[in-house]
Structure formats: C-alpha cells, structure tokens
Structure 1
Amino acid sequence: MTKGWEAALAEASSPSWTRRVRAGRDLAPFAEVPEAAEALLELLLDAEDTAVTRQTAEALTRAGTLAAVRLIALAVAEADDNRADWLQTGVHDALVDSDGGLDVAAVCGELARHPEEAVRRGAADLSAWTDGNGL
C-alpha cells in the first residue's frame, strides 16, 4: 500500500491534469495523513484545471470522513467564487450518486465546532449546499 501512496503523492504535482485527478482519487482515503492532506488541499484548489478540483472534491465527499470533509471545508473557505462552484459540483456529484449513504451534513455539524474559523466557515457553506437541494 505504501508504494501506491508514494506514487499518488508524486502524481499530485504532475503537470498532467489527468494524473492530478487520479492522485486526488487515490489520496482521498488518506485524508487524515498530513502529507496527503496537504496535497489534497492543493488539488482542491488546483489553479490550472477545474476538473482536478471537481474530481478531488467528489472523491473526498465519497470518503465521507471527518478529515476528508474538513479538507473540503478548508478549500471552500479559501476558494474564489468560480473554484467554489466546482467544489460544490464535485460534492453534489458524490451525493447524488451515493444512494443516501453519505451524511456530509452530519460531518459538517461536527466541524461547526472546529477550533479553526476557516473550517467552521467552510463547513457552514458546505452544509448549506446539502440543505434544501434534494441531496
């Protein structure tokens, strides 16, 4: 497993957007690991390709862990309006395809008490995306 983990970290900084998308998917289950979290946050805010943002947000939403959703919340807090739209699209894609198995709103509720203001702010926005949208 370590070998794939190291390969995914290397792919996260690739000039190829498809490799960065793959890295986001492969690293999402490791969101609690500091090195992976740092790379995932960069992928969520990818300045070169919105597909990387969207697919990484989707993978982290599917992971559904506190660490994964925390990273999305941080990205939402830092994102400009355009990037936030793509983050929202990735979250939406994961929730629509989840058959109700993901409870991002519950995780956002936990993050509402997070010590970092940016996480609380991003979690509030993320929670609003899931409220009233049929998700």
Structure 2
Amino acid sequence: MMSGLEAALAGASSPSWSHRVRAGHDLASFADVPEAAEALVGLLLDGEDTAVTRQTAEALARVGTVASVRLIALVVADADDGQADWMQTGVQDALARKDGVLEVAAVCGQLVRDPEEAVRRGAAEISAWTDDTGC
C-alpha cells in the first residue's frame, strides 16, 4: 500500500489536472522533503493548467513554513508573467482565507537574506503581494 506522500508524488505527474491539484495540496506540507519539493516546483510551473499553478501556490502559502514559501519564491523569480500572476492569485487567495499575511510576510522577511539570489528576488515579490492584500 502506498503512503500519502508516495500517492501524492504519483499524482503530481498525472495527466489529470484535478489529480495534479490534489497532489499540490497533499504535498504542500512536505515542502521540506526533497522529492516533494521537486514535484511542487513542477506543479507551480504546470504548463497545462493554470488551476494547478494557482492552487499549488495557495496550498503552499496556507502551510506558511519557510520551506513552503521558499519554493514559491524560488519559482516565481524565474516564472513567466502568466505563471507569476497565477501564483500571486493563489497566494492572495490563501491570505484572504486566514490570518496568514503576517506569517507569509515574516517568512519573506527571513528569505530576503537567503543565500540564493533567486529566492531573495522571489521573496521580495511575494512581500509586495502581501502588501497588495490591504492588510
């Protein structure tokens, strides 16, 4: 029998967009696990369905850990404008549903000092998104 992590990893490569969305939700809490992080990056950059990008970003923002927000920051720094827009929408959806603005903003404050330049750029962009929520 497959574990939850194994099943979610398998779902991340499904041809079904709804299975990939579920995988993004299920993997978000495992953002610190290398295999999950790799799959989450692929889901954030999903080239077939913007719902996968949006909902994976939302799930990662809802988790709100350094590892989960770092993945969004890493990816958004090099994403095309369309992907970045859907990630922003997903993050703002998460922030609108809970008191996550302070958590995400605090994590971004830590990530602007990350050794990786792409993460620093992405964290600055996400910080601007939290400012856009009006909180």
1:109 and 2:112 matched = no
When the two structures are aligned, how many residues end up with a matched partner?
A: 133
Q: Deviations over 1:67-106 (max 9, x none)?
A: 00000001111211111110000000000001x2452111
Q: Deviations over 1:25-62 (max 9, x none)?
A: 00000000000000001100101100000000000000
C-alpha RMSD over aligned residues: 1.1
Tell me the residue number matched to 1:69: 69
Amino acid corresponding to residue 55 of structure 1 in structure 2: Q
Following superposition, which runs of at least 4 residues in structure 1 exceed 2 angstroms of deviation? none
1:45 and 2:41 matched = no
1:4 and 2:4 matched = yes
Q: Deviations over 1:5-27 (max 9, x none)?
A: 10000000011000000000000
Task: Give unpaired runs (5+ residues) of structure 2.
Answer: none
Tell me the residue number matched to 2:96: 96
Identity %: 73
Tell me the residue number matched to 1:20: 20
Instruction: Give the TM-score, by structure 2 length.
Output: 0.95
Task: Give unpaired runs (5+ residues) of structure 1.
Answer: none
Of the structure 1 ranges 24-33 and 74-83, higher mean CA displacement relative to structure 2 is found in: 74-83
Tell me the residue number matched to 2:55: 55
Q: Secondary structure at 2:126's aligned position in 1?
A: helix
**Aligned counterparts of 1:108 and 1:17: Cα–Cα separation in 2:** 29
**Aligned counterparts of 1:64 and 1:72: Cα–Cα separation in 2:** 11
Instruction: Give the TM-score, by structure 1 length.
Output: 0.95
**Aligned counterparts of 1:22 and 1:133: Cα–Cα separation in 2:** 26
Deviation of the 1:133 alpha carbon: 2.8
